Amino acid sequence: MRKHIAVVLLLLLAGVEAWSQPQAQSDQQRQEKKPSTQFGQQQSSQFGMPAAGPPTAEEKAAAQKITESTDLQERLALVEQFLAKWPQSGLRSDVYAAASEAYRIQRNYDKAVEYGQLALDLNPRHPSALMTVADSLAEGAVSVQPDYQEKLARAEEYCRRALEVLQEVFAKAGPRPDMPEEEYKVQQKYFEAQPHATLGYIYLRQNDYPRAIEELKVATELNQYRPDAMDFLRLGVAQFRAKQYAEAEASLQRCVEIGGPAGETAQRQLVSVRRLLQAQQQQGEEKKP
Number of domains making up the chain: 1
Q: Which has more pLDDT, 235 or 47?
A: 235
Q: Considering the domain boundaries, does residue 140 fall inside one?
A: yes
- Determine, yes or no, domain membership for 275: no
Residue 140: CATH number of its domain? 1.25.40.10
The verdict on residue 277 lying in a domain is no
5 pLDDT higher than 90:
no
86-144 tens-digit pLDDT: 999 999 999 999 999 999 999 999 999 999 999 999 999 999 999 999 999 999 999 99
Q: Is residue 247 part of a domain?
A: no
User: Which residue range forms the structural domain that includes residue 112?
Assistant: 5-21+36-178
pLDDT tens digits along 230-265 = 999 999 999 999 999 999 999 999 999 999 999 999
Residue 276 lies inside a defined structural domain of this protein: no
Within a domain: 246:
no
285 assigned to some structural domain: no
* Tens digit of each residue's pLDDT (9 = 90 or more) over 69-92: 999 999 999 999 999 999 999 999
Q: Is 259 left (phi over 0), alpha (psi -120 to 50) or beta?
A: left
Q: 284 vs 28, 141, 279, 281, CA distance in Å?
A: 66, 42, 9, 5
Instruction: Answer yes or no: is 171 within a domain.
Output: yes
Write down the pTM of the prediction: 0.81
d(Cα 98, Cα 116) in Å, to the nearest integer? Answer: 8
